[in-house]
């Protein structure tokens, strides 16, 4: 078959296509080739990079998607000026390239910030006993990183929208009427802005940190995670309490680990007035010394209250953190109850009563005398009262 015979239908097909079809095919082919090249580079060159370079491999893995966009943008920039595209298509493609460039810059900034934040956080461990400095640093790092990410996303979105002429015109008119429009936007965005500002305040002043023990809304738990607009509190029974960040700036709450995790726990008993105080003091201290949960810092036993029936005895003991303080309190409380039951049961709470005859309700004297003077006789089943004697006595009295 002659080659001219083959090219003739092809020329006819090309002539039939619109003028922009062939240039757009070149542009599409260039973008497709750049994506294939990107995939081959990451598969061949960086296939085993993670096992060799660790954090550098992590950075390469996180930058894979932004680089894919960069390859497509590069293909677009190199191809569009070299093909004969009509102006009606060059302008939209140039606009698309500008949007891709803005998105690529913002995306790259996010990848770099998250990478270096993770790299810095690896030097601090939260799973050790003394993690005060680690919690302080990691809290600041996470809150500031998430706040920065939100700011970058917002500004990138604004930059992309401002590339459209209609948005620019709307922005100018909005700026001209900034009074009413600004008031409406301010009211609508108040919760988001309040939480973002609260996040920055928490990162700087740190009223809470990761793994802090807090009491929020009468719930006892740990700060599990701090996000850009809310905090997750892990309750002791494995529930999760979601609290806005602004709550920790505007509302009072308890933080049991603000400066140190060490805490003092109290144990109380309601006992009888006969409770042996000295023996209890020695025994409670013995229980504390035998426990692995006591840190050896604070121990004290005192009578803190009295009422008409019982006395209130309180023991103060210290522990390195609140979970150990709770276990120590339960341990001493249980052992003391068992010891009192075995050795001093009279010290346990009880109610006393006294019976007295009320004046004016005694039986008549004659009735008491007659009951004492009544003769008795022996019957077949034992001593019985004499019916005849009783009748005679009654008759004599009458």
Determine the Cα–Cα distance for residues 34 and 26; give it in Å rounded to an integer: 12
Q: Is the dihedral of CA 57, 63, 68, 70 positive or negative?
A: negative
| Residues 105 and 200 grouped into a single domain | no
- The CATH number given to whatever domain includes residue 224 is 2.30.30.60
| Residues 188 and 253 grouped into a single domain | yes
Mean pLDDT by groups of 10 residues along the chain of 398 residues: 49 55 78 85 65 60 83 84 75 86 92 87 76 82 87 90 78 56 62 80 88 92 89 93 91 88 93 93 95 93 92 95 93 95 91 72 56 46 41 37
| Residues 192 and 278 grouped into a single domain | no
Give a yes or no: residue 130 inside a domain: no
Determine the structural domain holding residue 110 and report its residue range.
3-123
pLDDT, position 187 = 64
pLDDT, position 233 = 95
| Residues 202 and 271 grouped into a single domain | no
| Residues 7 and 58 grouped into a single domain | yes
pLDDT, position 309 = 87
Give a yes or no: residue 378 inside a domain: no
| Residues 15 and 32 grouped into a single domain | yes
- Domain count for the chain: 3
Task: Give backbone dihedrals phi and psi of 294, rounded to 5 degrees, phi first.
Answer: -85, 135
5 CB neighbour count, 10 Å cutoff: 8
- The CATH number given to whatever domain includes residue 323 is 3.30.70.100
| Residues 97 and 12 grouped into a single domain | yes
Question: ∠ CA 317-323-329 to the nearest 5 degrees?
Answer: 35
Give a yes or no: residue 365 inside a domain: no
Instruction: Give the E-state strand segments of the chain in sequence order.
Output: 213-216, 219-226, 230-235, 240-244, 254-255, 263-271, 299-306, 311-319, 376-379, 382-385
Please say which residue of 210, 226, 260 terminates a domain: 260
Please say which residue of 238, 260, 282 terminates a domain: 260
| Residues 250 and 284 grouped into a single domain | no
| Residues 267 and 251 grouped into a single domain | no
Q: Please state whether the predicted TM-score (pTM) of the whole model is above 0.75.
A: no
Structure tokens at 188: 């609508």
């Amino acid at each position: 078959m002659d080659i001219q015979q083959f090219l003739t239908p092809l020329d006819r097909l090309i002539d039939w296509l619109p003028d922009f079809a062939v240039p757009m095919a070149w542009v599409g082919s260039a973008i497709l080739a750049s994506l294939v090249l990107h995939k081959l580079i990451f598969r061949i060159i960086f296939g085993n990079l993670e096992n060799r370079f660790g954090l550098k491999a992590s950075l390469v893995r996180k930058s894979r998607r932004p680089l894919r966009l960069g390859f497509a943008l590069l293909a677009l920039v190199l191809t569009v000026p070299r093909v004969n595209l009509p102006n009606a298509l060059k302008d939209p493609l140039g606009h698309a390239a500008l949007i891709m460039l803005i998105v690529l810059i913002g995306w790259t900034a996010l990848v770099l910030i998250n990478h270096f934040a993770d790299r810095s956080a690896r030097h601090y461990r939260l799973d050790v006993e003394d993690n005060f400095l680690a919690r302080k640093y990691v809290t600041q790092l996470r809150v500031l990183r998430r706040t920065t990410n939100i700011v970058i996303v917002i500004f990138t979105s604004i930059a992309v929208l401002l590339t459209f002429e209609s948005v620019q015109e709307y922005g100018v008119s909005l700026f001209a009427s900034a009074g009413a429009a600004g008031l409406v936007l301010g009211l609508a965005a108040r919760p988001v802005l309040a939480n973002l500002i609260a996040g920055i305040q928490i990162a700087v002043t740190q009223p809470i940190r990761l793994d802090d023990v807090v009491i929020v809304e009468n719930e006892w738990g740990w700060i599990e995670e701090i996000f850009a607009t809310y905090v997750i509190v892990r309750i002791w029974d494995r529930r999760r309490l979601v609290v806005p960040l602004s709550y920790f700036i505007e509302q009072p709450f308890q933080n049991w680990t603000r400066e140190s995790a060490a805490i003092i726990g109290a144990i109380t008993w309601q006992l009888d007035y006969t409770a042996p105080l000295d023996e209890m003091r020695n025994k409670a201290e013995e229980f504390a010394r035998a426990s692995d949960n006591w840190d050896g810092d604070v121990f004290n036993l005192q009578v803190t209250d009295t009422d008409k029936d019982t006395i209130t005895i309180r023991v103060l003991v210290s522990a390195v953190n609140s979970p150990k303080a709770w276990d120590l309190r339960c341990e001493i409380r249980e052992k003391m109850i068992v010891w009192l039951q075995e050795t001093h049961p009279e010290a346990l709470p009880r109610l006393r009563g006294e019976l007295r005859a009320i004046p004016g309700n005694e039986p008549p004297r004659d009735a008491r005398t007659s009951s004492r003077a009544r003769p008795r006789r022996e019957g077949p089943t034992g001593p019985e009262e004499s019916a005849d004697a009783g009748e005679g006595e009654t008759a004599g009295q009458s």
